[in-house]
């Protein structure tokens, strides 16, 4: 059973965003890391890159396959989780602790298009 | 489960990395019952097999196995396969699942002027591959099959069961061909023993890739000849004749325009099938055939078919991965050493 945390926003492509003030921490969900299996590489954007809700911003590679990362929110990348460069497996250990990018949100209205924990848990059940 | 060659096949059981390591370090098994089997018998069997096969079966001892290809006239590959010599006038061919229909039609078509009987036995046989350094002991203890006296690439019949010292992992191991119920029993016994990990298609691919073994459809195809793939050692151009001989002999002398190479990236990004290989100046020079971040050696590497002028070891090349271009260099297309018992 995949772990779903209260208080986060979730997309149908299995990314989450944790909002703190004007910023959002974006990563992949526990369900996604489990489906991917051993993560061996995370292809991340650069700081100052713009990301757009619904658009690809990188990829997570497991032994099995590459999976595109779709941003759940729009904004500017202010930080990337550099620990993942050398330890991509951190995502398998705790997908919610190990976010991928920190974004300065340009439109908090994006959050209205995402699911809450309850809706996402139900979505994963399907 | 995923569709593969007309069969529903598991990609993984406990996980690709876990299964991969089991085969490298201990013992794992693969249900490869999807593989095809064709029996060729009759007065012209030897001469006919030599006609369709790139390796040379003349002078083969009973119980010996050869690897090679069936080629088209232009040197492109119909399939790669194993030929088991059961007896004079009796050869057993093991072919790829996805190619069974195509191969069977090809084998029948070429046989018209030969005195041979052909039988597609693909539905009669199940197949189990037991692989890894502990395979011999596990097979003996759990299945009471003693493979200790089987040399690499030989086989023995135990009643109706064929046991060969072969595999597709780069490790020591065996392949058992028998009627499906017997294969099921073996599988259940090995699971119950706890000494042999069930393995899926996922690690079958990572294992064969690391030791540079080709997969039909990736490294060999109707467009990729054995010469381009660096498998010329399995093409016996000194044979009197075989289908594709002229084209392959010409290609060997002139040199192929494209060659299969290994490429290692400095970065951790993974080059995957179909990605474009670029020259240092950025011009497209070929395509990735298979790529992984290797489990045994922790490197991002691939096999790729590229223009011959870039195929020398240590040549600098680049690979386009999504929006970025990553530098790499040409290396040997064996990323992990084989560990066969010869």
Contact (Cβ atoms closer than 8 angstroms) between residue A91 and residue A61:
no
How crowded is residue A107: how many other Cβ atoms within 10 Å of its Cβ? 12
Q: What is the model's pLDDT at position A66?
A: 86
Q: How far apart are CA B206 and CA A65, in angstroms?
A: 12
- Mean pLDDT, to the nearest integer, of B66-86? 98
pLDDT level of residue A126 (50, 70, 90 thresholds): confident
pTM for the whole structure: 0.89
> Which domains are assigned to chain A?
10-106 (2.40.50.100)
| Distance in Å, alpha carbon of B171 to nearest chain A alpha carbon | 20
Question: CB-based contact (8 Å) between A40 and chain B?
Answer: yes
Q: Which of B146, B133, B128, B122 is nearest to B186 (CA)?
A: B128
User: What is B103-145 written as a DSSP string?
Assistant: HHHHHHHHTTTS--EEEE-TTT-EEEEEESTTHHHHHHHHH--
Tell me which residue in A37, A59, A65 faces B322 most closely, judged by beta carbons: A59
Give yes or no for A12 touching B (CB within 8 A). Answer: no
Q: Look at B17 and A37 and tell me if their CB atoms are within 8 Å.
A: yes
The B residues from 182 to 201 touching A (CB cutoff 8 Å) are: none
Taking 90 as the threshold, does the pLDDT of residue B8 lie above it?
Answer: no
What pLDDT digit, counting tens, does each position of B238-282 carry?
Answer: 999 999 999 999 999 999 999 999 999 998 899 999 999 999 999
Interface check for A22 against chain B (CB to CB < 8 A): the answer is: no
A63 with B300: Cβ contact below 8 A: no
DSSP B251-296: HHHH--SEEEEEEEESSS----TTPEEE-TTS-EEEEEEEEEE-TT
Q: Name the residue among B17, B268, B324 with its Cβ closest to that of A63.
A: B17
CA B281 – CA A1 distance, rounded (Å): 49
Q: How confident is the model at residue A2 (pLDDT cuts 50, 70, 90)?
A: confident
Q: How far apart are CA B113 and CA B96, in angstroms?
A: 25
Select the residue from A63, A82, A89, A90 to test the B interface by mutation, using most B Cβ atoms within 10 A: A63
Which residues, 6 or more positions from A126, have their beta carbon under 8 angstroms from its beta carbon? none
Q: Maximum CA pair distance of chain A?
A: 37
Q: Is the pLDDT of residue B146 over 90?
A: yes
pLDDT tops 90 at residue B105: yes
- Tell me which residue of B71, B104, B47, B40 sits closest to B243, measured CA to CA: B71
Residues in chain A closer than 8 A to B200 (CB atoms): none
**Which residues of chain A neighbour B300 with C-beta distances below 8 Å?**
41
Q: Which residue has the tokens 């046991």?
A: B163
Q: Do B321 and A37 touch (CB under 8 A)?
A: no
Using one digit for the tens of pLDDT, what is the confidence trace for B277-332?
Answer: 999 999 999 999 999 999 888 899 999 999 999 999 999 999 999 889 999 999 99
Q: What percent of chain B has pLDDT over 90?
A: 92
**Mean of pLDDT over chain B:** 96
Alpha carbon A4 to chain centroid distance? 13
CA count, 13 A, side-chain hemisphere, B273: 10
Q: CA-to-CA distance for A80 and A44, rounded, in angstroms?
A: 7
pLDDT over 80 at A100, yes or no: yes
pLDDT bin (cut points 50, 70, 90) of residue A54 is very high
Q: Domains along chain B?
A: 2-210 (3.30.1360.120), 257-331 (2.40.30.110)
Q: Which residues of A touch B269 (CB under 8 A)?
A: 41, 43, 61
ipTM: 0.72
Instruction: Compute φ and ψ for B219, nearest 5 degrees.
Output: -95, -15
Confidence of residue A23 (pLDDT cuts 50, 70, 90): very high
Phi and psi at residue B183, in whole multiples of 5°? -60, -40
Interface-testing mutation among B205, B293, B298, with chain A (most A C-beta atoms within 10 A): B293
* Cβ proximity of B55 and B66 under 8 Å: yes
Chain B residues inside the 8 Å CB shell of A82? none
Closest residue of chain B to A59, computed from CA coordinates: B322
| Residues A45-56, mean pLDDT to the nearest whole number | 96
Closest CA to B117 of B35, B44, B36: B44
Across the interface, do A61 and B295 touch by the CB < 8 Å criterion?
A: no
Return the ∠ at Cα B204 (arms to B200 and B210), rounded to 5°: 150
pLDDT of residue B1: 64
User: Three-state SS for A13?
Assistant: coil
């Amino acid at each position: 059973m995949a772990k779903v945390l209260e208080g986060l926003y979730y997309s149908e492509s299995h990314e989450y965003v944790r909002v703190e003030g004007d910023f959002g921490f974006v990563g992949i969900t526990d369900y996604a890391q489990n489906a991917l299996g051993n993560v061996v590489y995370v292809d991340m954007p650069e700081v100052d890159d713009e990301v757009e809700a619904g658009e690809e911003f990188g990829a997570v590679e497991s032994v099995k396959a590459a999976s595109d990362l779709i941003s759940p929110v729009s904004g500017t990348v202010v930080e990337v989780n550099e620990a993942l460069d050398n330890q991509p497996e951190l995502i398998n250990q705790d997908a919610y602790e190990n976010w991928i990018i920190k974004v300065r949100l340009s439109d908090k209205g994006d959050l209205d298009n995402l699911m809450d924990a309850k809706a996402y848990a139900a979505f994963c059940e399907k | 489960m995923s569709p593969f060659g007309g069969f529903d096949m598991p990609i993984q059981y406990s996980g690709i990395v876990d299964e991969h390591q089991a085969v490298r370090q201990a013992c794992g098994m693969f249900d490869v019952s999807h593989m095809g089997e064709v029996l060729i018998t009759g007065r012209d069997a030897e001469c006919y097999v030599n006609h369709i096969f790139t390796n040379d079966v003349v002078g083969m001892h009973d119980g010996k196995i050869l690897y090679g290809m069936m080629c088209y006239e232009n040197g492109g590959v119909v399939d790669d396969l194993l030929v088991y010599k059961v007896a004079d006038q009796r050869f057993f061919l093991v072919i790829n699942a996805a190619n069974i229909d195509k191969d069977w039609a090809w084998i029948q078509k070429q046989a018209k002027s030969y005195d041979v009987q052909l039988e597609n036995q693909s539905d009669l046989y199940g197949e189990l591959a037991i692989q890894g350094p502990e395979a011999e002991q596990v097979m003996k203890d759990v299945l009471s099959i003693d493979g200790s006296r089987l040399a690499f690439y030989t086989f023995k019949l135990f009643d109706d069961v064929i046991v060969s010292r072969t595999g597709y992992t780069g490790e020591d191991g065996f392949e058992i061909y028998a009627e499906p119920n017997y294969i099921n029993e073996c599988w259940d016994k090995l699971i119950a023993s706890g000494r042999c990990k069930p393995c899926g298609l996922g690690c079958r691919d990572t294992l064969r890739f690391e030791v540079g073994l080709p997969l039909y459809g990736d490294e060999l195809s109707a467009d990729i000849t054995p010469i381009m793939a660096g498998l010329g050692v399995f093409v016996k151009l000194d044979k009197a004749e075989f289908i594709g001989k002229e084209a392959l002999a010409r290609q060997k002398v002139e040199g192929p325009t494209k060659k299969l190479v290994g490429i290692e990236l400095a970065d951790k990004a993974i080059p995957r099938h179909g990605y474009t290989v670029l020259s240092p100046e950025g011009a497209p020079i070929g395509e990735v055939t298979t790529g992984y971040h290797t489990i045994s050696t922790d490197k991002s590497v691939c096999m790729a078919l590229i223009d011959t002028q870039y195929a020398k070891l240590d040549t600098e090349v680049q690979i386009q991965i999504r929006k970025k271009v990553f530098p790499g260099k040409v290396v040997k297309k064996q990323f992990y050493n084989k560990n066969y018992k010869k």
